[in-house]
Amino acid sequence: MAQKQLVIGMFGFGNVGRGLYDVLNTISSNEAVIKRICVRDITKERGIDADFTDKPDYIFNDKDINLIVELIDDAEAAYHIVKRALQSGRSAVSGNKKMLAHHLPELIELQQKHNVALLYDASACGSIPVIRNLEEYYDNDLLVSVKGILNGSSNFILSKIFNENYSYDVALRRAQELGFAESDPTLDIGGWDSLFKLIIITVHAFGCYVSPEKIFTYGISTMNDNDIRFANEKKRRYKLVAHVEKLDNGKIIMSVMPQLISRDKYIYSVEDEFNGVVIKGKFYDKQFMFGRGAGGHPTGSAVLSDITACFYNYRYEYKRMFDHAPVEYTDDV
């Protein structure tokens, strides 16, 4: 059963926050309305008629606000916002994959304790509903692996290298000019953004939380002309691939690293800022999901999906985590 209208207190008005605002205004939803937006710089002109504040208490002390949407880039601040929301008995929607990757077990416990919802489908793969699909569709013990391209920025760079013969440096600079990569692109090209998303996906795929420091992570920042030449000679191309797989002994392995991909693989043709995820099972073989991964309106739409789910009192159930024998991580392979 649906609840009353959601009155949103939103934190952050960057790319994704603006995307959510635009999407909400486009659809003229009666289910949810943004009442107040908390930002770091209250003096900045943003070109919209909205109630901005730089004081979090103005949101948390407002009794009309019943949903907190967190869309900021500061992982530590995001953690305190989401934690405070759950402790206050409010549901929360978050897009901060770094924060979730470090604090998810604690936040899941708070969700259970206070009987509220924490939703974050927007934190992994932008417009692709991979978390929701893992929660709802693949509700069995037959899942074997999840593998894919989870970072649109690094994929854009690699696409320019292999499709248009850009050098690595020129491709990175182009990604920054178009807003697909930050001025400091370390999280993207170092593989960390993909890692954080993989940790979140693994919780929903196998019910196992693994902390970031345990997982082998290697990005594309050291790629050179010799690597590119070798890939072209082999008629393959490099993709930055995040991978979790269940072994025959029941344990799982995880990694993020560049892989040489041949033309017969689904993710070979995933180009530019798009993401692609391959889910493999014992009896249904492989299923492929594809969609735009970089922020703005695509991720804003994913946030809206989470908000709509809150309206209908949807919660992640974490069935694999709570109802099954625990799966363990191993790096002994």
Q: Which of 97, 160, 197, 239 is catalytic?
A: 197
62 burial level (CB within 10 Å; 0-12, 13-18, 19+): middle
Contact in structure between 111 and 117 (CB atoms under 8 Å): yes
State residue 292's pLDDT score: 81
Smallest Cα–Cα separation from 273: which of 122, 171, 167? 171
Contact in structure between 21 and 48 (CB atoms under 8 Å): yes
Which residues are within 8 A (CB) of 3 and not within 5 positions of it... i.e. 6 or more apart?
311, 312, 313
Angular region, 73: left φ>0, alpha ψ -120 to 50, beta rest: alpha
Tokens of 192: 């960390």
pTM across the whole model: 0.94
Tokens of 330: 């191993």
Bridge partners (DSSP) of residue 183 are none
Told to judge if 197 belongs to the known catalytic residues of this protein, a careful annotator would answer yes
Smallest Cα–Cα separation from 284: which of 138, 159, 180, 178? 138
Helices 97-114 and 75-87 cross at an angle (nearest 10°) of 10
CA 8 centroid distance within chain:
21
Q: Please tell me the class of the 131-291 domain.
A: alpha beta
Where are the domains positioned within the chain? 6-129+296-322, 131-291
Tokens of 326: 């625990």
State residue 1's pLDDT score: 46
CATH of domain 6-129+296-322: 3.40.50.720
Q: Provide the 3-class DSSP secondary structure of residue 256.
A: strand
State residue 52's pLDDT score: 96
| pLDDT digits (tens), the chain, 333 positions | 456 789 999 999 988 899 899 888 888 777 899 999 999 999 999 889 899 999 999 999 999 999 999 999 899 999 999 999 999 999 999 999 999 999 999 999 999 999 999 999 989 887 788 998 898 888 667 899 999 999 999 999 999 999 999 999 999 999 988 878 877 899 999 999 999 999 999 999 999 999 999 999 999 999 999 999 999 999 999 999 999 999 998 899 999 999 999 999 999 999 998 999 999 998 888 999 998 876 667 788 889 999 999 988 999 988 778 766 668 888 876
State residue 2's pLDDT score: 54
Greatest CA separation found in the chain?
A: 63
